């Protein structure tokens, strides 16, 4: 997937997530069922995942100095997502700074605005990257280890879809 397609997909997947969350009632947004996160907590987790990415993508020199460059080859979307699903199947869960807080209904509008802003910041930063840099520059991922920027973006695109699917499944539970 080229940079333009990644940006388009990033915008689309996060816009769909935002629209879905906007459609939820207060009860649907706040309810936790069977020990699963509420929709608000899924939103908080996504924000906690996007915030460091937004910050780091704005500083290529920091990435190069602290994480380095790879061989210029990225795995495609399916390979990255397969690795992530394998980690989840092995029991991996969010930890540390990525664990969401309890989120109340009155924070929903602000958090959705923050989601839009983070995606805008990420897509603006990506305009400064060449296709080659997406495949060469490395970033750390807490579950998947070292990824290229392109691989991190593949993960980011899938991650929001995964959490929206989780919310839908959780709300269907009786």
DSSP state of 99: S
Write down the mean pLDDT value for the chain: 97
CA distance 158 to 36: 19
Which tens digits make up the pLDDT trace of 36-65? Answer: 999 999 999 999 999 999 999 999 999 999
User: Which of 165, 66, 58, 168 lies closest to 117, judged by CA?
Assistant: 58
Task: Give the orientation angle of helix 149-172 with respect to helix 77-89, to 10 degrees.
Answer: 50
Whether 10 and 163 have beta carbons less than 8 Å apart is answered as no
* Residue 145: its H or E element: strand 145-148
Q: Which residue has the tokens 């603006």?
A: 124
Find out whether 67 and 147 touch, Cβ atoms under 8 Å. no
Helices (H), the chain: 3-23, 26-30, 39-57, 60-67, 77-89, 108-126, 131-136, 149-172
Instruction: Calculate mean pLDDT across residues 126-139.
Output: 98
The per-residue pLDDT for range 77-106, each reduced to its tens digit, is 999 999 999 999 999 999 999 999 999 999
Question: Distance between CA atoms of 32 and 102, rounded to whole angstroms?
Answer: 10
Give the C-alpha separation, 69 to 137, whole Å. Answer: 5
Domains of the chain, residue spans: 3-172
Question: What local confidence, expressed as pLDDT, does residue 173 receive?
Answer: 72
Q: What is the pTM of this model?
A: 0.96
* CATH number for the domain running over 3-172: 1.20.120.450
């Amino acid at each position: 997937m080229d940079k333009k397609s990644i940006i388009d997909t990033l915008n689309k997947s996060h816009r769909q997530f935002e629209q879905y969350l906007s459609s939820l009632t207060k009860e649907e947004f706040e309810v936790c069922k069977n020990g699963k996160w509420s929709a608000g907590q899924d939103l908080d987790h996504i924000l906690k995942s996007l915030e460091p990415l937004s910050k780091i993508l704005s500083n290529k020199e920091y990435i190069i100095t602290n994480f380095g460059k790879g061989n210029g080859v990225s795995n495609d979307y399916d390979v990255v997502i397969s690795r992530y699903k394998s980690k989840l199947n092995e029991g991996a869960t969010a930890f540390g700074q990525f664990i969401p807080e309890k989120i109340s209904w009155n924070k929903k509008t602000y958090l959705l605005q923050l989601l839009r802003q983070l995606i805008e910041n990420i897509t603006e930063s990506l305009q400064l990257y060449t296709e080659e840099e997406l495949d060469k520059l490395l970033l750390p991922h807490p579950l998947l280890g070292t990824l290229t920027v392109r691989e991190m973006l593949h993960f980011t695109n899938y991650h929001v879809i995964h959490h929206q699917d989780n919310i839908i499944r959780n709300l269907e539970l009786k």
